[in-house]
Amino acid sequence: MKRAALYMRVSTVDQHPETQLHDLHLMAQQRGLEIVCEYVDKISGTKARRPGLDELMRDARRGRFDVVLVWACDRMARSVRHFLEVLDDLNRLQIEFISFRENLDTGGPLGRAIVVIISAIAELERSLIVERVRAGMRRAKLEGRHIGRRPLDIDRAAVLRHRAHGQSLAQIATTFATSRATIGRIIKEEAKRGVPKGVAPATP
């Protein structure tokens, strides 16, 4: 029975890899593979550093498994070039790569070629999405529309009055429905301009 390693990646810490994990366990069972390692990265697909993938590659060089299972090709690497490097390393170590969504593996040259093509299309799709977002932002800017968070409309004089009466940053933040950091910043900015008599310094 071949030993299998599972690799899963989700884009943010708010997402969970359970769906990928379920599908990969099912595929391993259907193919008669023994799961010996599981690796997870909670990080954007564009980020270079991936602790889970790095650990997988270290264990691959130690010969801990024979097959790597991933939920989709675009889960594996940040770019086509990076993906090819990972595949080359795995091939040199005689470790197969299998993708659940595409139902592909690198057991033969055809499988490897198809995986590379699909990865290229996925990268192109991400690039097109990024370009569409940037084009939308440029258009909004030309039309005079606001982009991003709108500035907070807080009565700074009122903040200083509350502070002068001895209220804490937390109390003032609750009154103005904002954060302690924002209140502290306002008080410090006003202090640079000249603190009115009787206003306490910005301490928690």
CA distance 142 to 103: 45
CA distance 72 to 25: 14
Count of residues for the chain? 204
Residue 197 C-beta-side C-alpha neighbours within 13 Å: 0
Cα Rg of the chain (Å, integer):
26
User: Does residue 11 carry a catalytic annotation?
Assistant: yes
Residue 20 tokens read as 């990928």
CA distance 162 to 117: 63
**Catalytic, out of 11, 79, 127, 179:** 11
CA distance 68 to 95: 7
Q: Which residues are catalytic?
A: 11
